Chains A and B, each alone.
Chain A
Amino acid sequence: AQKITQTQPGMFVQEKEAVTLDCTYDTSDQSYGLFWYKQPSSGEMIFLIYQGSYDEQNATEGRYSLNFQKARKSANLVISASQLGDSAMYFCAMREFYNDYKLSFGAGTTVTVRA
């Protein structure tokens, strides 16, 4: 079964607008971590934001915020004030406590920012 589901293969967003990238996950663990990574065309994976399952507040890092809804098992990424440099592939990933820090990745969402 898919552990991480990203249902949006591609999205377009206007510069300076906000965009929300969907991510749902499946786990029976109580302790887990959720990550978002950005992969530009160069290929490097850039860590954006982390949310622990026991964190009560939504994580924020600059223009990135994670909308964590535990009961719904969703961890959507919100990018505010989009910039042209935000055009990239975005991956949601989960680390489960029992799984020795391995990450399960979603299929990814390609974001294209238009001027």
Chain B
Amino acid sequence: GAVVSQHPSWVICKSGTSVKIECRSLDFQATTMFWYRQFPKQSLMLMATSNEGSKATYEQGVEKDKFLINHASLTLSTLTVTSAHPEDSSFYICSARGQGLETQYFGPGTRLLVL
């Protein structure tokens, strides 16, 4: 149980385009979903927290107009990187937590390369 999927796993795009990443909880309802960014050989940096049906809460320094997060249902959250630039190239990983569950379960991550 507690499976989280993420799509796509890889994306290469041109500078200036927008990229949408989906995060789905497959076998549980996710009360809260989290979006992280990770650079090579570094730890995870929390970008934002989203609760179903409400606006995401962004961490300090994360541009909310740049990284749009939508949590439209209890099983789906999306992260849209708008007008992507090469410096946005990174590994983006989501996690989900169900009602009453202590543990966050992570998706497999999305590698974004902006050319």
A residues lining the B interface (CB < 8 Å):
33, 35, 37, 42-47, 50, 52, 91, 95, 100-103, 105-108
Contacts and interface: CB of A to CB of B under 8 A. Distances in A.
B109 A43 contact: yes
A101 B46 contact: no
Interface of B: 2, 32, 34, 38, 42-44, 46, 49, 57, 91, 93, 95, 97, 102-109, 111
Given A42-B108, A43-B111, A47-B105, A102 B46 contact: yes
Contact of A106 (B38, B43, B104): B43
Contacts of B104: 35, 47, 101, 103
Nearest to A103: B104
Given A43-B91, A43-B111, A106-B43, A101 B106 contact: no
Contacts of B107: 44
A12 to B, nearest CB: 17
